[in-house]
Structure 1
């Protein structure tokens, strides 16, 4: 046993670091096609594919940790997460000191949606309930929510938001375009939902922790390569 411990101690730093997994945070509010969860464990979806491939690119194992969004934010503030791959600078400005930003991996478009039967609807009236995801930042609606012009009705996941809209729990909801299209395709809801207007567009990137124990620049370079050689677009295309 002593000999084994001694052997580990004399390994160069890079060899020891190779064995450490990269921790990736995944919000439990996300749903397909961004991520599929089985009993809280990610096993499919765009982020699952992206993060497991990224870890292989830098010769690490991927440790995918599913947590509530507010807890992810707390851990990011403490520098306890290595990589967070579903972020926009517009949402996450407070973390720039501890994390480096990758090139954008996709563009997310968020839409105000309604049921297709609401044929005369164009925009929610003052005081209307709007289905939203708990903890998610809608920058273009922040003032209207804060002033009471619109009222957030939070659900845990994006899919739950859309389900509540279909069940007429409210007349308006916000969803990203990718989730909206996936829901219509998999739930055969092509004629039941409609987009009213795009409310915001965000470049989505990965945040990579800065620290001597993590190959920050190597990870950033790997992400850039995956974007430029079409790997990321190929992953996304599987789920359109």
Structure 2
């Protein structure tokens, strides 16, 4: 009788437990077209579609955890997120042995951007301020900052950087191609911002928690399938 009681209590506990979700980190300063964040919730954008498609492929409900950029590392250390995406090894200061890297999923092209089509050469710019995103690391820009040739003017996200450039706060900014295309989409050609030089190209992937209660291998396979099938490229095409 005692064994039956214990078994029933265990069954009741399992029955009442919330189903396992697939927990994605979402940086609160991401902007369109990467992510639309409304009232503290991820509701759209490239990464919303990628996350949703990944969760569907492994049969789990996606859960989006909105975090300040500085707290994503801490979330990984606590294993409170399952996937950290839109990241590259060069962008992380720590090693996370409990997480496995996916295949590269897309490439981010960072551009030197101006209001005109004037030629651009980052290393030859005269001393000035340049528009950047708060918390972003730009390896090619770093020696120019350290020498004092250039100074950063940080904004909270990429859209704000481009708006400040458009308003004439500085002559140049650094923007990824996705954000620039989105910003220019509905503008007449005369008002569009111009990419004048490729600063860097970075292959981006996801880090996936390797845990007993998570189908890690299936998640990695799902991400690879989304890439190989062309689904990620189709998602990106919706935002160009």
Q: Same fold (TM over 0.5)?
A: yes
- Runs of 4+ displaced beyond 3 Å: 2-5, 8-11, 118-127
> Which residue of structure 2 aligns with residue 67 of structure 1?
67
Question: What pairs up with 1:1-240 in 2 under 5 angstroms?
Answer: 5-8=9-12, 19-92=19-92, 94-116=94-116, 119=118, 122-123=121-122, 125-186=125-186, 188=187, 190-192=189-191, 193-240=193-240
**TM-score under structure 2 normalisation?**
0.87
Question: Secondary structure in 2 aligned to 1:25?
Answer: strand
Question: Secondary structure in 1 aligned to 2:65?
Answer: strand
Measure, in 2, the Cα distance between the counterparts of 1:41 and 1:10: 29
Query: Residues 110 and 177 of structure 2 are in contact (CA less than 8 Å); yes or no, is this contact kept in structure 1?
Result: yes
Question: Secondary structure in 2 aligned to 1:95?
Answer: coil
**TM-score under structure 1 normalisation?**
0.87
Question: What RMSD, in angstroms, separates the aligned Cα atoms of the two structures?
Answer: 2.4
* 1:3 to partner: Cα distance: 7.9
* 1:21 to partner: Cα distance: 0.7
Question: Secondary structure in 1 aligned to 2:107?
Answer: strand
Could you tell me which runs of 5 or more consecutive residues in structure 1 were left unpaired when the two chains were aligned.
Answer: none
The worse-fitting range, judged by mean Cα deviation, of 74-83 and 55-64 is 74-83
Measured at CA, do residues 143 and 8 of structure 1 come closer, stay the same or move farther in structure 2, by a change above 3 Å? farther
Measured at CA, do residues 120 and 229 of structure 1 come closer, stay the same or move farther in structure 2, by a change above 3 Å? closer
Measure, in 1, the Cα distance between the counterparts of 2:203 and 2:158: 19
Question: Secondary structure in 2 aligned to 1:161?
Answer: helix
Question: Secondary structure in 1 aligned to 2:89?
Answer: coil
Measured at CA, do residues 162 and 23 of structure 1 come closer, stay the same or move farther in structure 2, by a change above 3 Å? same
* 1:86 to partner: Cα distance: 0.9
Measured at CA, do residues 159 and 189 of structure 1 come closer, stay the same or move farther in structure 2, by a change above 3 Å? farther
Could you tell me which runs of 5 or more consecutive residues in structure 2 were left unpaired when the two chains were aligned.
Answer: 1-5
Measure, in 2, the Cα distance between the counterparts of 1:173 and 1:10: 53
